[in-house]
């Protein structure tokens, strides 16, 4: 005899409804929570030049990734959020920033597993790993350098102009920050960092971050006057072309002003 045989009719009907609709209802709840978190993340993300807002955005992206562990995009977005938040905190403790970058690289690797043919996971691992490997200064771990080189080649193979060719800025940053001997072992010269940045900017000239990387590459290559011109271009250039209200641009303008003042003081 069925174990439900002696249940009252109304209770039995309710139980049947729960059994029939419980799973879809749970899915609908997850979907609503995902939509809510996505809206929350977006609201904070558009103010990502503010550290407190970016911290909240990072929290939201972490919850989205936990709620949607099988979606590569959620892990790629999380990796991007870790990179952004760490970049906003240049005066924070080195170990704290390195941990943020490492966690971003980990999220990016999860994206790669879920979507091996998409460049996003490889790109954001490379971007995070470059910072994590070089944040302390001095020699970078060889395993990290080889891994970054592999990631760069993977992004270029999948989509050489992904993120408007920004993988070139990642490689340029690596070249600039490696000690001379390690850079030679990597098979790159400081002039290569200039060439890489200029090539990416040729595709999207209104990228503030690209001009910032180019200025740093020029200084590293001994071309201080050209770097100063780049920085002044960022600070006084065509505002319509440069979309000055963009959060990335507000951050980079602050970096550019500080860097310009340092160069002018040291002249």
pLDDT tens column, 178-218: 999 999 988 889 999 999 999 999 888 888 899 999 999 99
Reported for 235-241, long-range contacts at CB under 8 A and 24+ positions apart, including other chains, are 235/260, 241/205, 241/206
pLDDT at 27: 55
Residue 24's pLDDT is 45
The more confidently predicted of residues 127 and 33 is 127
Range in 27-31, 155-159, 163-167 with the lowest mean pLDDT: 27-31
Residue indicated by tokens 């490997």: 133
Predicted confidence (pLDDT) at residue 169 exceeds the cutoff of 90: yes
How many CA atoms lie within 13 Å of 126's alpha carbon, on the beta-carbon side? 24
243 pLDDT band, cuts 50/70/90, is low
pLDDT of residue 3: 43
Average pLDDT of span 156-163: 94
List the structure tokens of 211: 């001009």
Percent of the residues in the chain that have a pLDDT greater than 70, as a whole number = 85
Q: Does pLDDT of 18 surpass 70?
A: no
Summarize the confidence of residues 31-44 as an average pLDDT: 90
pLDDT reported for residue 245: 66
pLDDT the model gives residue 246? 82
Instruction: Read off φ and ψ for residue 32, nearest 5 degrees.
Output: -65, -40
Q: What is the pLDDT of residues 90-117, one digit of tens each?
A: 778 899 999 999 999 999 999 999 999 9
What does the block give as tokens for 136?
């302390």
Q: How far is CA 49 from CA 18, 57, 255, 258, in A?
A: 46, 11, 12, 16
| Contact call for residues 165 and 203 (beta carbons, < 8 A) | yes
Q: What is the pLDDT of residue 185?
A: 87
Answer yes or no: is pLDDT of 240 > 80.
no
**How is 161-211 classified by DSSP, letter by letter?**
TGGGGTHHHHHHHHHHHS-HHHHHHHT--HHHHHHHHHHHHHH-TT-HHHH
**What contacts 95, CB < 8 A, 6 or more positions away?**
none
Mean of the per-residue pLDDT values of the chain: 87
147 touches 129 (CB < 8 A): yes
- The pLDDT, as a whole number, for residue 1 is 41
Q: How far is it, in rounded angstroms, from Cα 195 to Cα 192?
A: 5
Contact 111, 121 (CB under 8 A): yes
For residues 45-62, give the mean pLDDT. 95
Report the pLDDT averaged over residues 36-41.
92
User: What distance lies between CA 229 and its chain's CA centroid?
Assistant: 27
The predicted-structure confidence for 218-227, as pLDDT tens digits, reads as follows: 999 999 999 9
pTM of the shown model: 0.86
pLDDT of residue 244: 60
């Amino acid at each position: 005899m069925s174990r439900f045989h002696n249940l009252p009719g109304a209770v039995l009907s309710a139980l049947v409804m729960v059994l029939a609709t419980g799973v879809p209802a749970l899915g609908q709840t997850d979907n609503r929570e995902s939509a809510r978190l996505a809206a929350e993340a977006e609201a904070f993300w558009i103010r990502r030049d503010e550290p407190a807002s970016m911290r909240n955005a990072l929290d939201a992206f972490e919850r989205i990734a936990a709620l949607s562990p099988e979606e590569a995009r959620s892990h790629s977005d999380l990796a991007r959020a870790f990179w952004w938040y760490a970049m906003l905190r240049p005066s924070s403790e080195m170990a704290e920033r390195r941990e943020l970058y490492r966690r971003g690289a980990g999220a990016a690797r999860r994206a790669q597993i879920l979507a091996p043919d998409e460049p996003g996971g490889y790109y954001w691992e490379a971007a995070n790993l470059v910072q994590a490997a070089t944040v302390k200064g001095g020699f970078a771990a060889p395993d990290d350098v080889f891994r970054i080189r592999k990631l760069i080649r993977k992004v270029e193979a999948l989509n050489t102009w992904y993120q408007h060719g920004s993988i070139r800025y990642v490689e340029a940053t690596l070249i600039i920050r490696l000690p001379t001997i390690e850079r030679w072992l990597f098979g790159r010269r400081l002039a290569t960092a200039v060439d890489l940045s200029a090539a990416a900017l040729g595709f999207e000239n209104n990228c503030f971050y690209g001009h910032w990387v180019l200025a740093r590459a020029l200084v590293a290559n001994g071309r201080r006057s050209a770097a100063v011109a780049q920085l002044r271009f960022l600070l006084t250039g065509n505002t319509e072309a440069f979309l000055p209200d963009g959060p990335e641009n507000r951050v980079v303008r602050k970096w550019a002003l500080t860097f310009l003042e340092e160069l002018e003081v040291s002249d």
